[in-house]
Chains A and B, each alone.
Chain A
């Protein structure tokens, strides 16, 4: 079911797999990006989300402050019951740099992994 949708992101929840999927598209302004992050945190807090997948394949770069903001909510996500999180790698090289800054910001644990496609990411997630 769809949780949230905007011109830059679509957030869906698979109730059977307990999987929350963020599908990012194009360039998000600071406000658009943070709103999507906040909606995600809000949903995780109120629902039984076990897995998260952030599909950034088509995402355009986010600024350093937005990367920090996203990294800052990770404890809330894992504290809210998320067991594992997978990122599907962006095509855009600068988005990749932003993602590496995000990873570096928090020092990602083993239950956060990066994949080239959605299928690989889902297979890994559902093993947890």
Chain B
């Protein structure tokens, strides 16, 4: 059979995206259908085809149905939620290693304190805090820990409470669940809780602050957190600009980011169905970033330097101080401290996929 150089799916997807969302015609619909047909052939074995299919899925709801339904092809890769969850926390390095690095660093910050308060923003199902509490239990000095877990979804928060209540601690643990979005939290009440507890405050947020839709609210929340005068504030955020309002640029950022994430997923020691199930999970984020309208989007990630900017103008300063215990990341991922932004990036090839920030209060900063 004669062959010829076939363009990359990215070239083709880029062409499709140039017409989206404002120039949809019969011609562009045929382009989408042709590209989808190409991707569905060999979908499970080719990461780029899978990724491109997820992008097409994200825009299909805007351009209407056509000949092929990608859902039928993708459905076979659906993995039960609980398996996916375990896969993410036990195997996926961008979750597992971030938790380890941050938790080990919190341990160093806590040092030989006897009483501490932890605020965990976006506590989810309590995975990171569960593991932190177990680590803190090795402390010989700690007598009391107050953990304020902020999470908007009741089901997750109930699960977190159940998990955390089962941790066997060597100290008195007071878990205070707060069912709320962080931007709607009553910070005065939180302040009272901290005062009552009396210990040093450590704040942690993992993949939560980017859900705040507006910049003004992001600044307001960081300012309020600064007002609580924490000993340390840790942020874990994807290092990518999905806040970008220009669709074409946002698409390019998104593709670049998930292209690298998927290459790491391809290396996980799990079967093809689970690998693709995990990719499908990220498809929900792509749906939001690419297919969601500007007012409703929630996955509005920002690169680390922007979070640092917000920290700086609200009275924090970044520290190049992370526990190096979990720095053996595997999968070709390298830890890289960025002096310019003041963040620790987990870098795969030429993409810093996720960034960790260790910030402290800038004592020279004058609070309002």
Which A residues fall within an 8 A CB radius of B?
27, 29, 60-65, 67, 89, 92-94, 96-101, 103-104, 107-110, 112-114
Question: Can you report 9 residue pairs joining A to B where beta carbons are below 8 Å apart?
Answer: A27-B26, A27-B30, A29-B26, A63-B30, A64-B37, A64-B67, A93-B15, A99-B4, A100-B6
User: A63-B67, A64-B67, A108-B2 are known contacts. Are A97 and B34 too (CB-CB below 8 A)?
Assistant: yes
Contact B4–A89 (Cβ < 8 Å): yes
Indicate whether B78 reaches chain A with its CB closer than 8 angstroms.
Answer: no
Contact A97–B1 (Cβ < 8 Å): no
Instruction: Across the A-B interface, give the 3 residue pairs with the lowest CB-CB distance, nearest first.
Output: A64-B37, A93-B7, A114-B4
A48 to chain B, nearest CB (A): 25
Chain B residue numbers with a CB within 8 Å of A92 are 15
User: A27-B26, A93-B11, A101-B37 are known contacts. Are A61 and B2 too (CB-CB below 8 A)?
Assistant: no
Chain A residue numbers with a CB within 8 Å of B7 are 93, 96-97
Indicate whether B33 reaches chain A with its CB closer than 8 angstroms.
Answer: yes
Question: Which of A67, A97, A108, A113 is B35 in contact with, Cβ under 8 Å?
Answer: A97
A82 to chain B, nearest CB (A): 15
Chain B residue numbers with a CB within 8 Å of A64 are 33-34, 37, 67-68
CB within 8 Å: A-B pair count: 70
Interface residues as binary, B20-38 with A (CB distance below 8 Å gives 1, 0 otherwise) = 0000001100110111011
Chain B residue numbers with a CB within 8 Å of A107 are 1
A85 to B1, CA, bound (A): 13
> What residue of chain A has the Cβ atom nearest to residue B38's Cβ?
A97
Indicate whether B16 reaches chain A with its CB closer than 8 angstroms.
Answer: yes
Chain B residue numbers with a CB within 8 Å of A89 are 4
Indicate whether B176 reaches chain A with its CB closer than 8 angstroms.
Answer: no
Indicate whether B313 reaches chain A with its CB closer than 8 angstroms.
Answer: no
Chain A residue numbers with a CB within 8 Å of B31 are 60-61, 94
- Within B274-309, which residues are at the interface with A (CB < 8 Å)? none
User: A94-B15, A109-B1, A114-B2 are known contacts. Are A100 and B38 too (CB-CB below 8 A)?
Assistant: yes
A113 to B3, CA, bound (A): 8
A112 to B30, CA, bound (A): 25
> What residue of chain B has the Cβ atom nearest to residue A33's Cβ?
B30
Contact B16–A94 (Cβ < 8 Å): yes
A113 to chain B, nearest CB (A): 5
Interface contacts beyond A100-B4, A109-B2: sample of 17 additional A-B pairs, CB < 8 Å, sorted by A: A60-B30, A61-B34, A63-B67, A64-B37, A64-B68, A65-B67, A67-B34, A89-B4, A93-B11, A93-B12, A96-B4, A97-B7, A100-B6, A101-B38, A103-B4, A107-B1, A112-B2
